Every structure is written in structure tokens, then in C-alpha cells.
């Protein structure tokens, strides 16, 4: 029946897609959906889907349990919930930049409306902030009071202890003095004095320990920050920051607004123009004319101005992706031809072997420093360098603000990603079946057709396997390179967060860890799809 075949077609199409994209786990779901051997599929689903999900949940629960119990000097290890809220905070920061950008570019009626909106918001938030601040002061006072109450007896105990110990120390000193006198007068031996001193040193240590115990208790109470206070602080802080943000927005809507600035410049141009018309002497005319031109130029310039965005995690993510793409492309462009050459010619292989074996294990950090010096020499004045002007004038890429640091990072990625691709290509080319080569010989194919018709097609699966490893290595290397070269990107994000040392630092670093991991995973999947698309057999890697 035609209908059935169509369903079959959809089914096998889906199965093929799943297979090619490497998501074989979903295979039983599709089969179950089409009613094929339900029992087997349900078993497979429980085994290969539900169990992993359960396991991941288990990990999350363990994480959630362990994290708050491990105290570090920079605070507790963040729980999954805190990492999630860090994501939200980062997203807010990103959205705030968006808001400011849109405020900056608004004009006319829309701007007036927006001003009203923001003003209302400010009034509301300021009220809230005031209330929260009051709450905070009352809570703070309460907490300090409580703290003082519990500290008072301890402090008294400490002073008491110290006074007692001081007295005891003085007594011992007097005794020692007495004994020393006795020794001097030859009334007794030195032995007693020595034991006394030894004893007194030991007691001193003990006394110190006692004091330390009380001191530690005091410090512990001092260190203790009750959750109520912390929460109140955080709430008041976040609203205050929001108020500041809104005020900045108002700035961008009024005096800092692009259309306003353009208007001002144009206005001054018109005033200058009237001045020019009424001017009498040649000097006046010249001066007025110059001002007109200047104001016009300024108006044009301002009209083209864009909002200077602060970099946020999502911007940095796109920039990292762009960098790794450039680096990966550079690696592929070098590795594939050189690899083919090595695969075809044993002498070439022998020549390159020492170079490959020496440079392959070099750390990306070293490469980065080398590239900073070597490649840096090509960009003596990066801002006016044609290459960067060109890159930054491109439609999508232009927004990423390419600079030399990006190129250094990309070169480092390329240098480290080069080797797996090169070695795999060489291997792929050299392991083309002899039969195929013989056929080519019999057909008397030229070098070019031999390359394009036989060698490259049959080595493609291995080439792509190499490229896949390269991309993985490149992505890993990139993060380190960005951190070191301070090229805007996820690497710099992590490094900045570490340097900030704020209470959100740890959660943000964990967040970056997940973002980097997920992107790496997606990149890998893309490479798998490509690899599968060029393979003739099913034997290529799946995971």
C-alpha cells in the first residue's frame, strides 16, 4: 500500500537522520513511536535514556548536597540553584546593555514615551530602595545587638584570662628571678632553675592555647553572617543597582541620546549659518564658514555613532566561536594539503616527522607568547590597519570588534589544532587501498585526477575524523589563549571573574564551565554530522 510506504519512508528517514547526527539514543523512541517491537524499545529506552537521566539527576542531587558543606575562604561552593541564578544575573546584565543601546538610538515620540516609562520606574524603584535600606538598617542593628550580647561574656572572659595569665607570668618570672639569685649565691644548683624555666615555658604555651580558644570563639561569632542580613543586603543592593541603571538609561534618553546630540550639533550649524549670512568682514566670514563646516561634520559623525556596549557573556561567546572558527580554518588550510603530501610521499613524511614530533607537544601558552611577538609585528598600528578595518566593516563579524588579540588567539588555536588533522590526513592518504591505486595506474590517470577521483574521496573519513579532533583541541586551547591574551571571549570571561573575586565569582566560573562544555559538545556534533556525511561505511565513530 502506498500509504504504508510513506510512513516507512518517514520512519527510516528519521532513523537515518538520528544515526548521522550521532544521537543514536533516540533511535528506540522513534521505533516505539512507529510501533516496532514495543517491548524491546521500552527496554532500550529505560536502559539507555532513563538511566542516564536518572544518573545525571543523581549527580545534581549529590552536588546540591555536598556544595554547601564544603567551606572555602571565598565562601561556599555554589549549588546548582546558585549557578542558575548566576545565569540569570548574567542575562540581566546583557539585557541592561540592550536596553541602554535601544535608549541611545531612540528618537522623537518613542523617546518621549520611553522617558515617561523610565521616570515612573525610577520613582517606584527609589521608593522600594528606600524601604529596603531602612529594613537593612533595622536588621543590621538587631544582628549587631545580638552579636554584642553574645560577644560580651566572651570578651570579658578573654580579658579576665589575659589578666590572670599576665599575673601568673609575673609570678613565675619573680620565682625564676629568686631562684637565679639563689644560684648566684650558691644556695642551690642550676638544675632546679632549668626545670622551672622549662616548666614555665610549657605553661606559657598552654595559657596561649587557652587564650586562642576564646579568641577563635570571638572570631567565629564575628565572622558569622546571618542569612537574614545577607538576604536583606542583597535585596537592597540589587534594587539600588537597578535604580542606578535606570538613571543611566534616563541619561541615554536625554542628554546622551544620539538624536539629541545630532540635533544639538545641527542647531549649532544653523546658528553658525545665520552668523555667516550676517557677517561683514572677510575674517568673520571665514571663521563662521569654518564653524558651519565643523558643526556639520560633527553632526554627521554623531549620527553614525553606536552605543559602546560593555561585553557580556553572550557577546563573548560569539566572539569565542568566531575566533575558534578562524583558527580552525587556518589549521585545516595548512593541515590538509601538507597531510596529503606526507601521505603520498614518504620522503616528505620523513622530512616533516621531526618537526611534527617536536612541535606537537608544545603548550598553547608558549605558542601564544610566540605569536604575540611574531604576528604582533604585522600590526604596528592596529586601529588603522587595513586588515582590521576590513574585518570590522563586515556586516556580522564587524560587531565583534576584531583586534590583534583575537588573531593571536586564533593563531594559537590553529597551531595546536594543526597536528591531529595533519597526522590523520597523512594516515588517510597513505592507507588508500592498493587496488584503487593500481586501477588508477592501469587507467593512466594523471596526478590531479588521481588526487580528486581516488585519493581524496577515499581518505575523507579519516580527514574528517582528524578535523573533529582538531576542533575539540582548538576549543579547549582557545579558552586558555583568551584568558592569557585578554582577547574578549569566554576565556577572558572566566579570567575576569576569577580576578573580580566577588561573591558571584565561583558561581560564574561554574556557569562558564557549563557554557563552554555545551558549546564544545555542539561543535563536536556538527563535526560528527560532517564526518558521517562523507563516510561510506557505518564504522565511523559514534560517541
Partner 1 sequence: MLAITENHNQAFSGSVRHFAYWYSDCLLGESRRLFVTPPLRPKPITKISIPQLLELKLQSHFSNQRSVFKLLLPLLSFITALLVIGLSNSFGIIADPVASAAKPATQQLDVEKDELKFGFIKLTDCAPIVVAKEKGFFEDEGLQVEVIAQPNWKQLLDNVINGELDGAHMLSGQPIAATIGFGTKAHIVTAYTLDLNGNGITVSNDIWAKMVENDPELDTPTPKHPISAKALKPVVQEMLDEGKKLQMGMVFPVSTHNYEIRYWLASSGIHPGMYTSEDIKGFADAEVELSVTPPPQMPATMEAGTISSYCVGEPWNQQAVSKAIGVPVTTNYDIWKNNPEKVFGVTKAWADENPTTHVAVVKALMRAGKWLDETDESGKLVNREEACRLLAKPNYVGADFDVIKNSMTGFFYFQKSDKREMPDFNVFFKYQASYPWYSDGVWFLTQMRRWGQITEPKPAEWYDQTAKSVYMPSVYKAAAKMLLDEGHITEADVPWDTDGYRPATTDFIDGIEYDGKKPLEYLTKHTIGNKD
What is d(CA 142, CA 90) in angstroms, rounded to the nearest whole number?
A: 33
Tell me which of 19, 27, 237, 296 binds partner 1, using CB under 8 A: 237
Q: Is 94 an interacting residue with respect to partner 1 (CB under 8 A)?
A: yes
Selected binder of partner 1 within 291, 345, 458, 535 (CB under 8 A): 291
The site string for partner 1 over 500-519 (x = CB under 8 A, - otherwise) reads xxxxx---x-----------
Residue number with CB closer to partner 1 (254 or 542): 254
Question: Applying CB under 8 A, does 26 fall inside the site for partner 1?
Answer: no
Residues 6+ apart with CB under 8 A from 80: 60, 63, 64
Nearer to partner 1, 70 or 109 (CB): 109
Residue 278 interacting with partner 1 (CB under 8 A): no
Q: Can residue 396 be called a binding residue for partner 1 (CB under 8 A)?
A: yes
Using CA atoms, how far residue 441 sits from 73, 228, 433, 460, in Å, is 71, 83, 13, 21
- Nearer to partner 1 by C-beta: 147 or 453? 147
Determine which residue in the list 165, 172, 294, 525 makes contact with partner 1, applying CB under 8 A: 294
Question: Does 295 participate in binding partner 1 (rule CB under 8 A)?
Answer: yes
Nearer to partner 1, 410 or 484 (CB): 484
Number of residues that bind partner 1 (CB under 8 A): 83
Q: How far is the CB of 52 from partner 1 (least distance, A)?
A: 25
CB 412 within 8 A of CB 366: no
What the block records as the C-alpha cell of 521 is 559538545
Site string for partner 1, 213-232 (x = CB under 8 A): ------x--xx---------
Burial 330-359 (b: 16+ CB within 10 A, else e): bbbebbbebbbbbbbeeeebeebeeebeee
Where does this chain touch partner 1 (CB under 8 A) — which range of 1-9, 17-25, 36-44, 309-317? 309-317
CB of 525 to partner 1, least distance (A): 17
110 scored as a contact of partner 1 (CB under 8 A): yes
User: By CB under 8 A, what part of segment 142-161 binds partner 1?
Assistant: none
Long-range contacts of 479-486 (CB under 8 A, 24+ apart): 479/320, 479/516, 480/364, 480/365, 481/364, 481/365, 481/368, 481/408, 481/409, 481/412, 481/413, 482/320, 482/323, 482/409, 484/365, 484/368, 485/368, 485/372, 485/405, 485/408, 485/409, 485/412, 486/405
With H, G, I as helix, E, B as strand and everything else as coil, classify residue 188: coil
Residues whose CB falls within 8 Å of the CB of residue 430, separated by 6 or more in sequence, listed in order: 342, 343, 344, 349
Distance, in Å, from the CA atom of 303 to the CA atom of 350, rounded to the nearest integer, reads 61
Binding to partner 1 in span 69-88, by CB under 8 A:
73-74
Least Å distance between CB 218 and partner 1?
Answer: 8
Q: What separation in angstroms does the CA of 211 have from each of 197, 205, 221?
A: 21, 10, 16
- Interface positions, 329-368, toward partner 1 (CB under 8 A): none
The answer to whether residue 126 forms part of the interface with partner 1 (CB under 8 A) is no
End-to-end CA gap in the chain: 37
CA distances from 461 to 23, 65, 95, 417, 505 (A): 19, 45, 43, 18, 43
Q: Write the DSSP symbol of residue 78.
A: P
What is the closest distance, in whole angstroms, from the C-beta atom of residue 204 to partner 1 in the complex?
11
Q: Around Cβ 419, how many Cβ atoms within 10 Å?
A: 21
Q: Which positions ≥6 away from 175 have C-beta within 8 Å?
A: 196
The answer to whether residue 206 forms part of the interface with partner 1 (CB under 8 A) is: no
Which among 5-13, 118-126, 296-304, 524-532 is the span making contact with partner 1, rule CB under 8 A? 296-304
**Counting contacts by CB under 8 A, is residue 419 touching partner 1?**
no
* SS3 label, residue 76: strand
Which region holds residue 363: left if phi is over 0, alpha if psi is between -120 and 50, else beta?
A: beta
Q: Which of these ranges, 122-130, 233-241, 344-352, 359-367, lies near partner 1 under the rule CB under 8 A?
A: 233-241
- Interface mask (CB under 8 A) for partner 1, residues 29-68, using x and -? ----------------------------------------
User: Which one of 129-137, 176-184, 302-310, 412-420 is the stretch in contact with partner 1 (CB under 8 A)?
Assistant: 302-310
Partnered with residue 72 across adjacent β-strands are 75
Which residue in the set 132, 246, 405, 440 belongs to the binding site for partner 1 (CB under 8 A)? 405
Q: Which stretch binds partner 1 (CB under 8 A): 56-64, 251-259, 324-332, 407-415?
A: 251-259
Of the pair 178, 225, the CB lying nearest partner 1 is at 225
Residues 257-276 binding partner 1 (CB under 8 A) are 264, 268, 271-272, 275
Single out the residue of 80, 382, 457, 472 in contact with partner 1 (rule: CB under 8 A): 382
Options 46, 95, 188, 449; binder of partner 1; rule CB under 8 A: 95
Amino acid at each position: 500500500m502506498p500509504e504504508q510506504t510513506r510512513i516507512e519512508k518517514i520512519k527510516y528517514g528519521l532513523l537515518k537522520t538520528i544515526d548521522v547526527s550521532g544521537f543514536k539514543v533516540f533511535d528506540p523512541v522513534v521505533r516505539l513511536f512507529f510501533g516496532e517491537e514495543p517491548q524491546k524499545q521500552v527496554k532500550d529506552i529505560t536502559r539507555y535514556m532513563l538511566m542516564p537521566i536518572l544518573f545525571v539527576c543523581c549527580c545534581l542531587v549529590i552536588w546540591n548536597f555536598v556544595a554547601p558543606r564544603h567551606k572555602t575562604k571565598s565562601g561556599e561552593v555554589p549549588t546548582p540553584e546558585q549557578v542558575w541564578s548566576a545565569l540569570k544575573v548574567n542575562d540581566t546584565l546583557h539585557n541592561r546593555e540592550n536596553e541602554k543601546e535601544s535608549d541611545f538610538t531612540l528618537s522623537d515620540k518613542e523617546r518621549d514615551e520611553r522617558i515617561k516609562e523610565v521616570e515612573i520606574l525610577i520613582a517606584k524603584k527609589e521608593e522600594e530602595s528606600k524601604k529596603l535600606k531602612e529594613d537593612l538598617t533595622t536588621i543590621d542593628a538587631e544582628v549587631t545587638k545580638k552579636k554584642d550580647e553574645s560577644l560580651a561574656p566572651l570578651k570579658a572572659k578573654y580579658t579576665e584570662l589575659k589578666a590572670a595569665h599576665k599575673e601568673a607570668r609575673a609570678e613565675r618570672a619573680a620565682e625564676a628571678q629568686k631562684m637565679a639569685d639563689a644560684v648566684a649565691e650558691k644556695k642551690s644548683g642550676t638544675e632546679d632553675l632549668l626545670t622551672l624555666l622549662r616548666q614555665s615555658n610549657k605553661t606559657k604555651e598552654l595559657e596561649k592555647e587557652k587564650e586562642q580558644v576564646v579568641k577563635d570563639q570571638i572570631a567565629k561569632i564575628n565572622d558569622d553572617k546571618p542569612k537574614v542580613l545577607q538576604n536583606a543586603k542583597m535585596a537592597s543592593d540589587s534594587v539600588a543597582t537597578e535604580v542606578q541603571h535606570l538613571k543611566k538609561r534616563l541619561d541615554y534618553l536625554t542628554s546622551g541620546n544620539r538624536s539629541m546630540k545630532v540635533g544639538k550639533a545641527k542647531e549649532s550649524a544653523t546658528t553658525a549659518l545665520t552668523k555667516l549670512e550676517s557677517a561683514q568682514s572677510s575674517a568673520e566670514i571665514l571663521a563662521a564658514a569654518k564653524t558651519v563646516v565643523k558643526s556639520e561634520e560633527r553632526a554627521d559623525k554623531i549620527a553614525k555613532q553606536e552605543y559602546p556596549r560593555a561585553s557580556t557573556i553572550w557577546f563573548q561567546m560569539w566572539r569565542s566561536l568566531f575566533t575558534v572558527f578562524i583558527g580552525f580554518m587556518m589549521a585545516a588550510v595548512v593541515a590538509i594539503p601538507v597531510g596529503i603530501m606526507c601521505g603520498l610521499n614518504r620522503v616528505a613524511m620523513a622530512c616533516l616527522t621531526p618537526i611534527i614530533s617536536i612541535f606537537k607537544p608544545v603548550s598553547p601558552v608558549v605558542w601564544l607568547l610566540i605569536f604575540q611577538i611574531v604576528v604582533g609585528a604585522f600590526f604596528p598600528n592596529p586601529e588603522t590597519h587595513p586588515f582590521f578595518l576590513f574585518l570590522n566593516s563586515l556586516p556580522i563579524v564587524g560587531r565583534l570588534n576584531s583586534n590583534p588579540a583575537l588573531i593571536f588567539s586564533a593563531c594559537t588555536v590553529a597551531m595546536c589544532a594543526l597536528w591531529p588533522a595533519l597526522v590523520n590526513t597523512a594516515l588517510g592518504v597513505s592507507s588508500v587501498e592498493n587496488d584503487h591505486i593500481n586501477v588508477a595506474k592501469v587507467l593512466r590517470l594523471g596526478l590531479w585526477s588521481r588526487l580528486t577521483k581516488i585519493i581524496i574521496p577515499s581518505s575523507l573519513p579519516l580527514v574528517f575524523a582528524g578535523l573533529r579532533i582538531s576542533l575539540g583541541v582548538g576549543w579547549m586551547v582557545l579558552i586558555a589563549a583568551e584568558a592569557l591574551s585578554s582577547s574578549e571571549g569566554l576565556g577572558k570571561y572566566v579570567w575576569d571573574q576569577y580576578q573580580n573575586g566577588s561573591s558571584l565569582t565561583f558561581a560564574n566560573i561554574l556557569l562558564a564551565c557549563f557554557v563552554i562544555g555545551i558549546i564544545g559538545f555542539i561543535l563536536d556534533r556538527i563535526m560528527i554530522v560532517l564526518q558521517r556525511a562523507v563516510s561510506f561505511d557505518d564504522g565511523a565513530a559514534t560517541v
